[in-house]
Amino acid sequence: MTRKSEQRRKIIYERIQREGSVKVTELSNDYNVSSETIRKDLDVLCEQGKIEKKHGSANRIDKYSHIPLRVKREDHREEKIRMAACASKLIEDYQTIWLDAGSSVYTMLRFLSPRKNLTIATNSIEIATALAGSHHRLIVVGGLLEPIGQSLVGPFANEQIAALHFDLAFLGSDGFKNSEGPTTFAYEEIQIKRTALMHAARSVLLVDDSKTEVCAPYQYARFREFDTIVTTADPSNFPEPEKVIVA
């Protein structure tokens, strides 16, 4: 794969996200490449779970909940890295922390190596897998597998979280448009998130600017319940701007 084709696919993906649906012929004409080349680009994006193909066009996947976590991690990647860098500075050696099963929180993993003797609890299979070889102590909450988000949920998982206490809990959100707090597409995650929030001495929400345009059906908390909000969005989006750290 050439750098030129990677850049073209990135541009095509961003256009589909903006417009919702784009025809193959339009893309071919606009980017001065053959229809066959465009179809190959769309095949790659489709295999990555980023778009849907239908009748000579490429369509946006509007149900964000159906996008695999590995794909979400690449969306707004630079913003997530900046937020993760800021959020990780709140962690001190020897603390016990909760890491939510989301793409923004997952990005924090690259910044945890310098910390000493952390105890990290999570219900995320991907986070647990990534930390399996680290020098930190790892607690993996067991439960029912939620396959899209690769998280472990349900009453059994919730009981285990309720038995723990965290110095810091880091949580994410699928969006917060027209909402008084973070929302999620996963109904099964509501109680998991709330329990982690309630059992933390300090809670931190990570949300990038794109979440201002998305509202999932289930609000799991209010912004005022968080001690700190790390974001790339305008602080005026939140009721207590003094709690906001802009990455």
Would you tell me which CATH number, out of the four given (3.40.50.300, 1.10.10.10, 3.40.605.10, 3.30.470.20), belongs to the domain 3-62?
A: 1.10.10.10
Please check whether residue 59 is in contact with residue 52, taking contact to mean a CB–CB distance below 8 angstroms: yes
- Residues 210-243: pLDDT tens digits? 888 887 788 999 999 999 999 999 999 999 999 9
CB atoms within 10 A of CB 82: 18
Contacts of 157 (CB under 8 A, 6+ apart): 123, 141, 142, 143, 144, 192
Over residues 61-66, the mean pLDDT reads 56
C-alpha distances in Å from residue 21, one per residue of 27, 55, 84, 105, 247:
11, 11, 32, 30, 32
Return all residues near 109 (Cβ < 8 A) that are at least 6 apart.
127, 130, 131
Banded model confidence at residue 10, pLDDT cuts 50, 70, 90: confident
Band (pLDDT 50/70/90 cuts) for residue 13 is: confident
Angle ∠(75,92,236) on CA atoms, nearest 5: 50
Structure-block tokens of residue 11 = 């541009």
Residues 6+ apart with CB under 8 A from 121: 96, 97, 98, 99, 138, 139, 140, 141, 161, 164, 166
CATH 3.40.50.1360 in the chain: give the residue spans.
Answer: 70-246
Range 102-111 average pLDDT: 94
What DSSP character marks residue 242?
G
Q: For 175, phi and psi rounded to 5 degrees?
A: 165, 170
Q: Does domain 70-246 have CATH number 3.40.50.1360?
A: yes
Residues 6+ apart with CB under 8 A from 147: none
What confidence score (pLDDT) does residue 69 get? 63
Q: What is the full DSSP assignment across 73-132?
A: TTTTHHHHHHHHHHHHTT--TT-EEEE-SSHHHHGGGGG-TTS-S-EEEESBHHHHHHHT
pLDDT given at position 214? 80
* pLDDT > 70 in the chain, percent: 94
Interval 116-161: pLDDT, tens: 999 999 999 999 999 998 999 999 999 999 887 889 999 999 999 9
- DSSP, collapsed to helix, strand or coil, labels residue 153 as strand
pLDDT in the model for residue 68:
59
Residue-level pLDDT at 139: 98
Domain with CATH 1.10.10.10 in the chain: 3-62
Residue 209's closest CA among 184, 185, 173, 171?
173
Crossing angle of helices 3-19 and 35-47, in 10° steps, is 80
pLDDT at 66: 55
